[in-house]
Chain A
Amino acid sequence: GAVVSQHPSRVICKSGTSVKIECRSLDFQATTMFWYRQFPKQSLMLMATSNEGSKATYEQGVEKDKFLINHASLTLSTLTVTSAHPEDSSFYICSAKAYRGNYNEQFFGPGTRLTVL
């Protein structure tokens, strides 16, 4: 149980275009999902917290108008990278929070590799 999927797994786009990445919790409902960004050989940096039915909470330094997050249902959150540029190329990972008795655990998706040409 507690499987999280991401689509697409890999995307290449031209500079200036927008790209949407989907994150789905397949066998559980998640009121909260998280979006991370990971540069090569580096750690995961939290970009934003996505809450179902409300606005996302962005971490300091993350442009909310550039990285649009929508959490329209209890199993789906989307991240749209608007007007993408080469510096947005990265590995984007989502996770979904599930309450496990007395603690919250995050379950991670496999990630999406974005390359902007």
Chain B
Amino acid sequence: AQSVTQPDIHITVSEGASLELRCNYSYGATPYLFWYVQSPGQGLQLLLKYFSGDTLVQGIKGFEAEFKRSQSSFNLRKPSVHWSDAAEYFCAVGHGSSNTGKLIFGQGTTLQVKP
């Protein structure tokens, strides 16, 4: 069965420091992979996605992620974190070989930014 694991429940970084949020997936075929951000009490906003092609994906707000098939990972990175990046981050994998649109979400990582 497909699954997504985000090993870090909570991460704290200083403003201006670099960030990497980890995501590992379990999926038999080529996965559709997503990163979403959720601010408190809000819905989800798509940061970036990977379907095929270049394994380094650029997203909004200065985020990028790299798909590594050998490691079953899709880690999210940002070179310099801003205080406004404090939020909940979810990695997700598209569920179903026919891309039904269903998503399986990881447990989420809470990002705290220190001034």
Contact = CB atoms under 8 A, between A and B. Distances in A.
B101 A111 contact: no
A97 B26 CA distance: 23
Q: Which of B36, B99, B102 has the most CB of A within 10 A?
A: B102
A103 B107 contact: no
A111 B41 contact: yes
Interface string A26-57: 00000010100000011110100100000000
Nearest to B90: A43
Interface residues of B, number: 23
Nearest to B9: A41
A114 interface: no
B26 to A, nearest CB: 15
Interface stretch (B14-22, B42-50, B63-71, B73-81): B42-50
A98 to B, nearest CB: 9
B100 A104 contact: yes
B32 interface: yes
Interface string B73-105: 000000000000000001000100001111111
A113 B43 CA distance: 11
B101 A32 contact: yes
Interface string A74-117: 00000000000000000101010100001111101111010000
Interface residues of A: mostly helix, strand, loop or mixed? strand
Contacts of A104: 94, 99-101
Nearest to B98: A104
Nearest to B91: A43
B9 to A, nearest CB: 9
A113 B36 CA distance: 20
29 contacts: A4-B43, A6-B43, A34-B102, A41-B108, A43-B90, A43-B106, A46-B103, A46-B104, A49-B100, A91-B41, A93-B44, A97-B101, A103-B51, A103-B99, A104-B99, A104-B101, A105-B46, A105-B49, A105-B101, A106-B101, A106-B103, A108-B45, A109-B43, A110-B42, A110-B43, A111-B41, A111-B42, A111-B43, A113-B41
